[in-house]
């Protein structure tokens, strides 16, 4: 997958050299480039923002550098990338969206700052490429940089070959519309607390049932919205009894 990120703070992306994302970059699974928006400015102050039309506090990112950045990174003669713009006004980012983005050959992230990017940049881009505004949640960050780190981590771990054990993708929270059951490792007793007996029983049927029950209970307690949204077809008879 190819990924381009445009930001006025390229230094935010230094952690993308680390750990599994760093390895995905090193082995070519992820071809990632970070671009400083200011290279597409032409004044001595390298201005990227201005006051909002209509008044109000804060500053808005000017359209010209963004227009040039998108022209350079998504030239008309090649297949357009999907433009992803993190913003608190976007659609909620979910595991389903992570899967959708992981299937794209080329993502282009535009990191807004201040009160956001002049709307015409997105409107113009939408005439020649898919544009997705994405929100991490109902809170406001300083800008899109941290959101891109989050989105990219969620997406990269879904790329083929990135996770050593692909089975962990099938089992994890959100994979089945449920939160994952609690996990334990050795020792069996720690500070007087025991690992549940069932997990040490070797009875895979009982273990699977226990995990399913724990996942249901956790989801019902912590995320009743997820349980309410779940297709009843995905519940089995034992779930309903529980």
Among the residues of 19-165, which ranges form H helices? 19-26, 63-73, 95-102, 119-125, 145-156
User: Which CB, 148 or 215, lies closer to ligand ADE?
Assistant: 148
Q: Does 55 carry a binding-site annotation?
A: no
Binding of residue 155 to ligand ADE (CB under 6 A): no
User: Which CB, 12 or 212, lies closer to ligand ADE?
Assistant: 12
CB of 153 to ligand ADE, least distance (A): 14
CB of 92 to ligand ADE, least distance (A): 9
CB of 138 to ligand ADE, least distance (A): 7
Q: Does 141 carry a binding-site annotation?
A: yes
Among the residues of 177-235, which ranges form H helices? 204-222, 224-229
- With a CB cutoff of 8 Å and minimum separation 6, the contacts of 200 are 188
Judged by DSSP in three states, 35 sits in strand
Residues recorded for the chain = 242
Q: For residue 98, give both structure tokens.
A: 């992570």
Q: Which helix (H) or strand (E) holds 239?
A: helix 237-241
Binding of residue 154 to ligand ADE (CB under 6 A): no
CB of 233 to ligand ADE, least distance (A): 32
Name residues contacting ligand ADE, limited to 74-93 (CB under 6 A): 86-88
CB of 24 to ligand ADE, least distance (A): 23
Q: In terms of Cα–Cα distance, which of 144, 4, 26 is closest to 81?
A: 4
Distance of alpha carbon 157 from alpha carbon 161, whole angstroms: 9
Pairing of strands 131-135, 82-92: parallel
> Of the candidates 14, 140, 229, 240, which one interacts with ligand ADE according to CB under 6 A?
140
Closest residue to ligand ADE, based on beta-carbon distance: 86
Is the distance from CB of 238 to CB of 208 less than 8 angstroms?
A: no
Q: Does 118 carry a binding-site annotation?
A: no
User: Which CB, 81 or 143, lies closer to ligand ADE?
Assistant: 143
Name residues contacting ligand ADE, limited to 166-185 (CB under 6 A): none
Cis amide prior to 57 (ω within 30 degrees): no
Is the distance from CB of 74 to CB of 130 less than 8 angstroms?
A: no
Name residues contacting ligand ADE, limited to 108-137 (CB under 6 A): 135-137
CB of 65 to ligand ADE, least distance (A): 18
Binding of residue 139 to ligand ADE (CB under 6 A): yes
The count of residues interacting with ligand ADE (CB under 6 A) is 12
The C-alpha angle with vertex 98 and arms to 145 and 172, in degrees rounded to 5, equals 115
Binding site for ligand ADE (CB under 6 A): 86-88, 135-137, 139-141, 143-144, 147
Annotated binding site for S-adenosyl-L-methionine: 112, 136-141
């Amino acid at each position: 997958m190819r990924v381009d990120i445009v930001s006025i703070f390229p230094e935010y992306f230094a952690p993308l050299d680390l750990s599994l994302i760093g390895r995905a970059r090193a082995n070519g699974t992820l071809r990632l480039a970070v671009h400083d928006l200011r290279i597409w400015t032409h004044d001595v102050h390298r201005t990227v923002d201005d006051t909002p039309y209509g008044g109000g506090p804060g500053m808005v990112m000017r359209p010209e550098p963004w227009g040039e950045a998108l022209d350079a990174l998504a030239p008309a003669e090649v297949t357009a990338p999907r433009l992803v713009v993190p913003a608190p006004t976007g659609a909620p980012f979910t595991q389903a969206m992570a899967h959708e983005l992981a299937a794209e050959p080329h993502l282009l992230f535009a990191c807004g700052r201040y009160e956001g990017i002049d709307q015409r940049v997105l409107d113009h881009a939408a005439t020649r490429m898919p544009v997705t505004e994405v929100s991490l949640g109902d809170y406001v960050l300083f800008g899109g940089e941290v959101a891109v780190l989050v989105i990219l981590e969620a997406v990269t771990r879904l790329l083929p070959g990135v996770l050593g054990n692909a089975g962990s993708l099938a089992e994890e929270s959100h994979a089945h519309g449920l939160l994952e059951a609690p996990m334990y490792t050795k020792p069996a007793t720690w500070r007087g607390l025991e690992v549940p007996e069932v997990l040490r029983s070797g009875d895979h049927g009982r273990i699977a049932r226990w995990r399913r029950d724990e996942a249901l209970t956790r989801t019902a307690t912590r995320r009743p919205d997820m349980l309410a949204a779940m297709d009843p077809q995905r519940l089995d008879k034992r779930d309903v009894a529980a």
